[in-house]
Amino acid sequence: MEIRSFADYLRGLDDAALISIFTYRPDLVTPVPPDIASLAARASSAPSLARAIDALNQWQLHVLEVCVILDEPFSEKEVAALTDKSALFVIPGLIERGLLYADKDGLRSPTTLKDVLGNEIAGLGPASMAKLKLKKLDEVPAASKKVLDAMVWGPPRGTIGDIKKPGAGVQWLLDEGFLIPFNQQTVVLPREVAIYLRGNKVHRAIATSQPSVEGVKRDSRNVQLASIANISTFLRWTEEILNFWAQEPASALRSGGLGVRDLKEISLHLGVDESCAAFIAEVSYLAGLLTIDPDDRILPTHQFDIWLMQSPSARWLTLVSAWYASSRLSGLVGRESSKNVAPLGPELDRSSAASTRRLTLSLLNENSEIAPDIDSLFSSALWLAPLKRSGGLQKDYISFTVREAEWLGITGQGVISRYGADFLAGGDCESINGDLPKPVDHILIQSDNTAIAPGPLEHEVAQELALIADVESRGGATVFRFSESSIRRGLDHGRTGEEISKFLAKTSKTPMPQPLEYLIADVAKKHGKLRVGNTASFIRCEDSTLITQILGDKRLDVLGLRKIAPEVLICGHDAAEAMNILRSCGYLPAGEDSRGLLLSGPRIQRAQTKARPPRVIGEYDRLDEGQIESALRALRTGEKSSRKQSTMRNIATEALGSLPRTTANETLDLLSDYLQNQPSKSLSIGYADNNGLVSHRIIDPLKLSAGSLIARDHATGEVQTFRIARITGVAAL
């Protein structure tokens, strides 16, 4: 078959060649195009070509750039002459990807490929329209040589004062045609001149192999221990941050996202820096455990409760899978160059984030014996992906990935762990369940109002302890501190002083010290003596001495308190705000409803709406063998159908060209005759639409009914009804 276009080339490929193209470029069959012509249009479109080029390594890209700057058709020898002999082994791979194709005269590329690669490929300008005597460049004047040296490796454009009054060096080059005037102040170096001066090579340096990744060797046992510790810590961080927001929800910014004050608050609560706190919040958001309610409160979802009931490995996989596929970069939070970027906000999307993450983890997996140096890791990644869209491969993005992989436990001490390798291989990571430290059900209370948890606590114990104590330090053992505010928090959640004491006595392996008993009893005695309710709000207290103390406290002037009865004050702030101000000044108020009942009880909140994880800017994943074969069958079927339809349309055009104009009765008689004597024969008819325009139709008549013909239309494959009065003529095919 004569190849006149890229579509003709694709039509001539066998199944194996098409499968190869679809393997490298899954976007070509997502969804499956109707025929080969549509496939060719998609394969030569700018977005598809850009994805295919992004998947090339540096050596493949250099070879492709040389192919594009050569005049078509070109030969493999021409490509090797401008690069290296090993380019001969690269060209078949470019053909397999549909970036080059062969006809009887040589190799060609899709027409839009040059536009995708850019105007000045490899720093080269346009080809000269005139024939140049390149040998004269060996005797170029010194002034002209200086100009050429500045332009030879690109950019090929130079600026001069006035094209009519150039310097001596530029004038000689213009006279010889070695510079082309572009406008009044710009000259361009022709492609042939640059290649000659580069020693008949296109690129300054040719990297035919991937740079090696260097780093520090780590002990494998320590790597696994560090990794499982990171996994345990990250699961605990996630649970803590969501429990914290369940009690005290953060407010989202108007533009969306978490504010600076709330980020600092969770950072202090977890005992981590703000970048780590932002990452934990982001991963929870991506996994659907966290959402922003319509009232702009940041709350855990009901999915969080389901997540808590799962095994540790399932919980970890939920978080890691969401992070791995995400196009969001929490590492951008807090950078000087991105001051307005907030966690959970819309500004964190980056189209190259997911592909950079996959590339980095793949390199870590390939170099599983060492903790790579970030510079060598970046050099190796840059060779594998030299032409990334959206500004190229970013070193910071790779640094973010390495740091976040360590937080998640994919790596330990910078080296890929067996859990990380299992995750990348699509495993279930069940070994995490056995390797994690067993949860403990007890604490050790000490005489300084602290308690030590000698390991990860069981869920129920941890939840209860979080209500009545604050975390003071974390590590292999967690230290909790009991204080007046923490005990008050437990009382606000409906616990009584007696219940708190019983819980601690039951859970602690050491006796509860007397100072802690006195602290619990004292706070429980004071709690609820002062009541706050809603009018705008009122403050009620049976202790007139305490009322007098509050009225005289200058710190509470902001409330604008006014006494309306011996035991009642009112203020202009709502009840929640008034209680927060009173607590900040050392008082212990409790809420009260309109009937005077004490409002205390569990305040664990959940979002009322479903989780709304942010959108993910995804890349096309490689298809498996079954998907590719299915797509190929659909494409071949569509191509046969398109060819048949084209042939039938030509036949119909010829038939209808000589079709007599018949009346409705004559048409009805002809159709009846075909249905009785030749029911399996296809017919060509002319059919008028609502606007009176006649179109050619190829049909299989089925039956006549009430002045209409019921038939299968070949164009749509569907059974349709045609009114007899609108059929202009009938012809056999």
Q: Which of 331-340, 429-438, 474-483 has the lowest mean pLDDT?
A: 331-340
* Strand blocks (E) in 593-667: 598-599
Q: When comparing pLDDT for 605 and 346, which is higher?
A: 346
Cβ-based neighbour number of residue 196 at 10 Å:
17
Q: What is the mean pLDDT of residues 690-708?
A: 79
Q: Give the pLDDT of residue 535.
A: 61
Question: Which is more confidently placed, 526 or 214?
Answer: 214
Sequential DSSP letters for 227-241: HHHHHHHHHHHHHHH
State the Cα–Cα distance between residues 86 and 617, nearest whole angstrom.
36
Distance CA 310, CA 410 (A): 20
Distance CA 287, CA 284 (A): 5
Q: What's the average model confidence in pLDDT over 531-553?
A: 79
**Structure confidence at residue 1 (pLDDT):** 46
Q: Give the Å distances, CA to CA, from 665 to 556, 600, 657, 672, 705.
A: 98, 88, 21, 11, 14
Return the percentage of the chain with pLDDT > 90, whole number. 25
Of these ranges, 61-75, 121-135, 330-344, the one predicted with the greatest mean pLDDT is 61-75
Give the torsion sign (CA, 622, 624, 629, 634).
Answer: negative
**Per-residue CA distances from 566 to 52, 65, 545, 563, 706 (Å):** 80, 89, 10, 7, 94
Burial of 708 by CB count in 10 Å (0-12 exposed, 13-18 middle, 19+ buried)? middle
Kindly tell me the burial class for residue 460, based on how many C-beta atoms sit within 10 Å of its own C-beta (0-12, 13-18, 19 or more): exposed
More confident: 484 or 663: 484
CB 299 within 8 Å of CB 291: yes
Mean residue pLDDT of the chain comes to: 84
Question: For 25-64, what is each residue's pLDDT tens digit?
Answer: 999 988 888 888 889 899 999 889 988 998 899 999 999 9
In percent, the amount of the chain with pLDDT more than 70 equals 89
d(CA 694, CA 700): 19
- Tell me what pLDDT residue 613 has: 67
Strand boundaries in 622-726, DSSP class E: 683-688, 694-705, 708-713, 719-723
Least confident range of 23-32, 415-424, 696-705:
696-705
Which pLDDT band, with edges at 50, 70 and 90, does 280 fall under? very high
What pLDDT score was predicted for residue 460?
A: 80
Whether residue 404 has pLDDT greater than 80: yes
Using one digit for the tens of pLDDT, what is the confidence trace for 217-276? Answer: 999 999 999 999 999 999 989 988 998 888 888 888 887 889 889 999 999 888 899 999
684 is written with which tokens?
Answer: 């060509």
pLDDT for residue 204 is more than 50: yes
The pLDDT assigned to 705 comes to 79
Which pLDDT tens digit goes with each residue over 456-500? Answer: 888 788 878 878 888 887 776 788 889 888 888 888 777 888 888
Give the pLDDT score at 32: 85
- What does the pLDDT read at residue 599? 58
289-295-300 Cα angle (round to 5): 15
DSSP state of 443: B
* pLDDT score of 420 more than 60: yes
- Average pLDDT of the residues in 569-593: 82
Q: What is the pLDDT of residue 36?
A: 87
Distance, in Å, from the CA atom of 56 to the CA atom of 64, rounded to the nearest integer, reads 9
Q: How far does CA 337 lie from the centroid of its chain? A: 21
Composition of the chain by helix, strand, coil, percent to 5: 50, 15, 35
Kindly tell me if the per-residue pLDDT of 600 is higher than 60.
no
**Does the pLDDT of residue 601 top 60, yes or no?**
no
The pLDDT of residue 306 is above 80:
yes
Average pLDDT over residues 428-450: 88
Between 280 and 630, name the one with better pLDDT: 280
Q: Of 132, 148, 139, give the one whose Cα is nearest residue 192.
A: 132
Residue 616, classed as helix, strand or coil, is coil
pLDDT at 214: 93
- Tell me the chain's radius of gyration from C-alpha atoms: 38
